[in-house]
Structure 1
Amino acid sequence: MEDNLQELNFDQRRVLVVGGSSGIGNGIAQAFRERGADVHVWGTRASAVDYAAEKGSNLEGLHYAQCDVANSAAVAALQPGFDALDVLVLCQGIVRYGRDEFEPDGFRHVVDVNLNSLMDCAHKFHAMLKQRRGALIIISSLAGFAARIGNPAYAASKAGAISLTKSLGEAWARDGIRVNGVAPGLVPSKLTGVTFDDPERAAKALRGIPAGRFGTPQDIAGPVLFLASPLASYVVGQTILADGGKGLS
């Protein structure tokens, strides 16, 4: 047991969590910080202070930078403030309701954030990860494995993220970079407010989860820590479903 705990010690490691300002990404960022990592996060707001009142956001002990990942030029231009990286977690994501994703502009925007920006960020940090024989972890979604009637862009982009994890996993293993992913189920966040703001809808969703509860950011952080650690040294190109069993039926 003690040896396993040591494997989950990230002291002297640098981690960047894109989308780490709130929700699942923030839970992941804080989990790395609690285990000794030097953790950087990217978010969309001008400064960390702008998240002070945000539920599910704790930027204490984290280094914050603003970046609109939907803008490829902004990703390329941002100076990260470090020259070495051990773990890159890509947790950016948006969803649009009211059938906005059926409109070309809405569809394109969601895909730009949820899929295209993954490649932009991965490309930006490839050399650093190669130098440190690091890990890249892509956060997708259970939605990537099934149809989502009202959100075609979200489902398609998350399916693309799962496929990208496989393709980069195969290609970059030769560079010493392990690429894997985690697909969360239902976790309360800004993205899932349409479910959790409706008690009847939330109750119905809960009935479909064999584990009998909704997920938490910490539930997703666990598999991420595993995939970033030496415990997963022979795991490449895989996406772990962390959904309480919801995807089983």
Structure 2
Amino acid sequence: MTTALITGAAGAIGQAIAAALEAAGRHVIRADSHEAPGVRHLDVTDDESCAELVASIDDLSLLVNAAGVMVRRTALDTDVATFQRVLDVNLTGAFRMARAAHPALAKNGGSIVSISSTHAFLAAKGSFAYGVSKAGVSHLTRLLALEWAADNIRVNAVAPTVVPSAMTAGVLADPAYVSRKLAAIPLGAPIAPEHVAAAVAYLASPAAASTTGQILVLDGGESLA
């Protein structure tokens, strides 16, 4: 049985991904900075923490970068320390984990799936640092896919629009926001964590053996307008 490592596994999306991968027959290791039953501690902003966790795993064949933070501020309201913190978790953290996992993934013919966002390509007011970080995650995906194809490592990402979770609970509690958001989504519904999980499971599966460097957008048609 091959092993998948999920960062950000204590969150709604991470939990759904773990369930989907286990249903597909993977052995799953959950990791997060927050303590939770069955979850290993991981600080994606620390090189040693990333390296130690990866080194402890046998037969690693899939890395899912789902760790992320959101700060809802405009550019002028975002101080440099906050900007750097968001990038360090969302973007540099994904890079740290990818570098740490490279030897095992190359050995096992593995893959990486990262969680990006529609904020990577749709400019949204009030989430400046998050949008920049997710744009970085999407291009990190393309660059690693290009460079690591020769190592037999596939690298892809999933980019959902708003997903119900602790991170989005505040805005989804605002009826005006929900009304505006759903009006912008032709299918008229948020993306469920299980939808993200299904996309990750597909990209990690043999059915996607020829797919690399792709950003699978889950937005209910929002980006068509």
Q: CA deviation at 1:79?
A: 5.9
Structure 2 counterpart of 1:37: 26
**Residues 29-50 of structure 1 deviation map (CA, whole Å, 9 limit, x = unaligned):** 111112221100111123x24x
Q: CA deviation at 1:240?
A: 0.5
Mean Cα deviation higher: 171-180 or 33-42: 33-42
Contact 2:141 2:157 in 1 (8 A): yes
Structure 1 counterpart of 2:78: 102
For 2:188 and 2:125, the matched residues in 1 are separated by: 24
The gaps in structure 2 that reach 5 residues or longer are: none
Q: CA deviation at 1:148?
A: 2.4
Confirm whether residue 212 of structure 1 aligns to residue 201 of structure 2: no
Structure 2 counterpart of 1:60: none
The gaps in structure 1 that reach 5 residues or longer are: 1-11, 50-62
Q: CA RMSD in A?
A: 1.6
**Residues 130-150 of structure 1 deviation map (CA, whole Å, 9 limit, x = unaligned):** 111011111100000022221
Confirm whether residue 28 of structure 1 aligns to residue 17 of structure 2: yes
Structure 2 counterpart of 1:139: 115
Counterpart of 1:24 in 2: which secondary structure? helix
Contact 2:161 2:218 in 1 (8 A): yes
Mapping 1:216-231, distance limit 5 Å: 216-231=192-207
In 2 relative to 1, CA 64–231 (structure 1 residues): closer, same or farther, beyond 3 Å?
same
**Residues 68-127 of structure 1 deviation map (CA, whole Å, 9 limit, x = unaligned):** 212333323446532221111101110112558611111010000010011100011111
For 1:234 and 1:98, the matched residues in 2 are separated by: 39
Counterpart of 1:86 in 2: which secondary structure? strand
Counterpart of 1:240 in 2: which secondary structure? strand
Q: CA deviation at 1:223?
A: 1.4
Contact 2:156 2:212 in 1 (8 A): yes
Confirm whether residue 13 of structure 1 aligns to residue 2 of structure 2: yes
**Residues 3-46 of structure 1 deviation map (CA, whole Å, 9 limit, x = unaligned):** xxxxxxxxx12111111112111111111112221100111123
Amino acid at match of 2:2: R
Counterpart of 1:16 in 2: which secondary structure? strand
Contact 2:2 2:27 in 1 (8 A): yes
Structure 1 counterpart of 2:50: 75
Counterpart of 1:237 in 2: which secondary structure? coil
Counterpart of 2:132 in 1: which secondary structure? helix
Amino acid at match of 1:149: K
1:165 aligned to 141, 148, 151, which one? 141
Mapping 1:117-196, distance limit 5 Å: 117-196=93-172
TM-score, structure 2 normalization: 0.94
For 1:26 and 1:231, the matched residues in 2 are separated by: 23
TM-score, structure 1 normalization: 0.85
Amino acid at match of 1:17: I
